[in-house]
Structure 1
Amino acid sequence: MLIRGSRGVSVTAEGALLLEVCARAFDEIGAVATLIGQDNKTKILRVRAGPFFAMEVIASRIAGFLKQNPGIQLHLNNIDIDSIAQDTEDAQIKYCLHPPAGMYNIELLKEKLVPVCSPLLLANVANPEDLLVDPGIPRLHYRDVKDWKRWISHHGFDDLTANSNLFFDDQHTLLAAARSGQGIGFSHRPLVKNDVERGSLCIVSERYFEPEESYKFICSQENIATNQALQLFRDWLVNEVSTIC
């Protein structure tokens, strides 16, 4: 591989070829080592949230958080309402009355619910609030009839018998039904602002009520105390929600 001459040692043709191959190999090893180092520095956050909160609050704003924190990867998953997978998830955003005992939690969003529907239902209506007691207009329910009963009782409307056969486990699906003219449902006023501006939803009444349940950020006490990436995400989320309430 080497030739000793009068002027010193030089590389043979075979040696030059080997040197080139070795140089490329070491370059590739260095590149892989760099990638491994980057992967080790990347912090993956696994957060569960229902489709409505995930799409309307997190997904539409998360680019700013990730840009500010390039070392964090966010894995956003759908939520199983009756499951708390503490061993696989760093945190969850859950719509509930009481968080699980012993868990760290903060209230993110206390909703002010107003009735909304498709503009199609208001086309020939002089007073939109008349629809609220029209037995021919379906009421869209989130899980159960409590929201409707509370709103009607709070504002002194007569609770006439109404079509109450449509129930949804997620507000995102409920709003999709409302947009398509299937009935009247409730939503947090600021979160349907874009729908109203686009003309896909109308506010039937500005009268609102606050349900007992709220969106809560929930995780283990140990995780929030030791996981800096989770702390950053929590603080960012609290700040973002405060701008839309």
Structure 2
Amino acid sequence: MQRRKMTGRLPPLNALRMFETTARLLSMHKASVALHVTPAAVSKQIQVLEASLDVKLFTRSKRNLQLTPAGEKYYAHISTALNSIRHATREISNVSGMAPLKIRAYTTFSMYWLIPRLSSFHGLYPEINIELTTSIKWIDFEAEDVDAAIRLGDGNWPGFVALPLVPNILTAVCSPELAKSLHKLQDLKQVTLLHTLARPDDWRHWLSSQGYDTMDGFNYRNYESSVLVYQAATKGQGVGIAQQALVQPLVENGDLVYPFPYELDMKSYTYYLVMPGNRPMREELNVFRDWLINSAEVC
């Protein structure tokens, strides 16, 4: 095959961006989520780039996507170049005084869900500086310098834009050692139930879903936040009531287990991205909103 000479011209830049993201993630689906396009669009642009270069960049199978030797070499070069562009953009943005995007969330949600994913956002949008603060209080957009907040509730907040994020599924968690003594729900009366003051009804809702109409006979210990509940549970101090989306990392690394196979989906009562409904949204907030929704959808 005779190769076309490309001296003096750049390859299609949109295709180049899609190639760089796909090569980094080795998944067209993940690249499509990161770039807010369809997998078909990613595939088409990579085909355009391969045709432009007259080089195969990937080998494809039903389950795997791998870079060819030429693809690996090309990715090493263009990823360095694109990172330089990102760095230059960040410097120019800082010089021009781009204000940080101020996000308010809960401590537990930030630690176990949002922060682990923010590295992806910073990689895609290094020019946008996220300023993250935590609080359990409701947000007052008129009095506080905050662009958006992540709040727990039913989403029925007139005057606000509220977009649901992760499912709020309640489940019991404890240390692997303590789980050995828990064989039936009645055994929960022999241990301490760890509870957060921020959500005082979680245990009542969960136990009620399992047929317990009264809380009599259960022993409680209260903590200010779920972070403290999860930490106490990992140390074997009792059984915590947890939101599955947040506690899953601790389960995956073996610090906590689910002693019972019972879950309670709180439906519309869940986490929302909340934004003021009476003012134009900054473009940076639009970008963050789209990224956050996509991140929640692929969980």
Normalised TM-score (structure 1): 0.74
How far the C-alpha of 1:163 sits from its partner, in A, is 1.0
2:158 to 79, 91, 101: 101
Aligned-residue CA RMSD (Å): 2.5
Given that 2:141 and 2:276 are in contact with CA atoms closer than 8 Å, whether structure 1 keeps it comes out as: no
Highest CA radius of gyration, 1 or 2?
1
Shift, 1:198, TM fit: 2.5
The offset of 1:117, in angstroms, is: 0.8
CA deviation vs aligned residue, 1:4-37 (integer Å, no higher than 9, x gap): xxxxxxxxxxxxxxxxxxxxxxxxxxxxxx9676
One-letter code of the match for 2:217?
T
Once residues 205 and 76 of structure 1 are traced to their aligned partners in structure 2, the CA distance between those partners, rounded to angstroms, is: 35
Is the counterpart of residue 114 in structure 1 residue 171 in structure 2? yes
In structure 2, runs of 5+ residues without a counterpart are: 1-89
Asked whether 1:198 is paired with 2:253, we answer: yes
Match of 1:140 among 164, 170, 194: 194
2:145 and 2:177 map into 1 onto residues whose CA distance is 44
Work out the CA distance in 1 between the residues paired with 2:176 and 2:286: 42
State the secondary structure of the residue aligned to 1:203: coil
Number of aligned positions between the proteins: 206
Question: Which digits, 9 at most, give the CA deviation of each residue in 1:42-99, with x for residues without a partner?
Answer: 3410001111111111110111111211210000001241442444000110112355
3-state SS, counterpart of residue 236 of structure 2: coil
**Which residue of structure 2 aligns with residue 50 of structure 1?**
106
Correspondence 1:63 to 2:102: no
Q: 1:122 Cα shift? A: 2.4
State, as a whole percentage, how many aligned pairs show the same letter: 25
90 and 99 in structure 1: CA distance in 2 versus 1, 3 angstrom threshold = farther
Q: Structure 1: how far apart are the matches of 2:245 and 2:138?
A: 28
On the 8 A contact 1:122/1:128 being kept in 2, the answer is no
- Higher relative CO (CA 8 A, sep ≥ 6), structure 1 or 2? 1
Distance (Å, rounded) in 2 between the aligned partners of 1:36 and 1:232? 19
2:123 paired with 1:81: no
How far apart, in 1, do the equivalents of 2:97 and 2:276 lie?
Answer: 23
Structure 2 CA distance for partners of 1:177 and 1:239, relative to 1, 3 Å: same
Other-structure match for 1:174: 229
Out of 257, 265, 271, the position equivalent to 1:215 is 271
